Amino acid sequence: MTGRERLLDPTGFDEKAADDTLAPRPAGLRGLTIGLLDNTKPNAEVLLTEIAGELQRRYGAGKSLMYTKGYFGTPAEEDMLKRIAKECDLVVTAVGDCGSCSAATVADGILLERAGIPTVSIVSDSFLVSGRAMAEVQGFPGFEFVAVRHPVASLDAEQLRERVRDVLPDVLRILGVES
Amino acid sequence: MSRPEEGGVALDDALARFRDMMASDGYTLSWSVTGEDRVVVRIEAGEDACADCLVPLPVMEQIMSNALEPTPYTLDHIVLPAK
């Protein structure tokens, strides 16, 4: 080994991270670029695409950009988060439907908010506790995220659209936009 | 699994609800009391457990500490499945 290896903290936490202030909210979604952070869990990409479509059709949001994490169980790598923050005006990240990935999905949301990007993390309601605990570990106990009815992985296209319709008001509320 | 409570929420009631969450990923959750008021939580992997899905230890400690708040007990430590 030629040098120190960097270990990835599964909590995404470091001593600098204690800011519990949300990024500034947009006045509306018209023309804004939507970042979609796919954690590679089954149906995450479809769910995110459906949400982006709704935001574009109903609220005039701009283009969407899909980003795919390398591993669902830890927060996205710093380089990816920086790229998202540079290229997008808001982010939706999904789907936390297991213990580690629900925690990581919430951590991604917090890290992006700290980078100045309004972010909606989507976690299945079976893993709300895991998401909330991660928010506390991150020093952001009041961080709000969306709970989608469990399960997500086994749903067909119509069932996913129904889930999206269910959570859309919460997505808009967290983004600070009136539905 | 736990001693009778003298006040606050019963230990079993406080922790049992997390069984379902852990079971969703194929894990079983159990606990025991050590000393006067300390709790050891044990997580074991079932045959179909998702190895990558286990909640990170700091998050699990936060979950269990929060769950124990309304009880007379505090978390001693968590035993995770052997890798």
Contact: B24, A150; criterion CB under 8 Å = yes
Q: Which helix (H) or strand (E) holds A35?
A: strand A34-38
Domains present along chain A, CATH in parentheses: 34-175 (3.40.50.10350)
Q: Residues near A69 by Cβ (< 8 Å), separated by ≥ 6?
A: A37, A38, A39, A40, A76, A80, A108
For B8-67, what is each residue's pLDDT tens digit? 689 999 998 898 899 999 999 999 999 999 999 999 999 999 999 999 999 999 999 999
Instruction: Give the per-residue pLDDT at A178.
Output: 80
Instruction: Give the per-residue pLDDT at A2.
Output: 44
Residues of A in contact with B24 (CB under 8 A): 98-99, 126-127, 150
Instruction: Give the per-residue pLDDT at A1.
Output: 41
For A80-99, what is each residue's pLDDT tens digit? 999 999 999 999 999 999 99
Residue type, A132: R
Instruction: Give the per-residue pLDDT at A5.
Output: 56
Residues of B in contact with A11 (CB under 8 A): 56, 58-59
For A147-167, what is each residue's pLDDT tens digit? 999 999 999 999 999 999 999
Mean pLDDT by 10 residues, chain A (179 residues): 55 63 96 98 98 98 98 96 98 97 97 97 96 94 96 96 97 92
pLDDT band at residue B7 using 50, 70 and 90 as cut-offs? low
pLDDT of B5 > 90? The answer is: no
Residues of A in contact with B59 (CB under 8 A): 10-11, 103, 130, 133-134, 137
Q: What share of chain B is helix, strand, coil (3-state, %, to 5)?
A: 35, 25, 40
Closest C-alpha among B23, B31, B25 to residue B3:
B31
Instruction: Give the per-residue pLDDT at B4.
Output: 46
Domains present along chain B, CATH in parentheses: 11-79 (3.30.300.130)
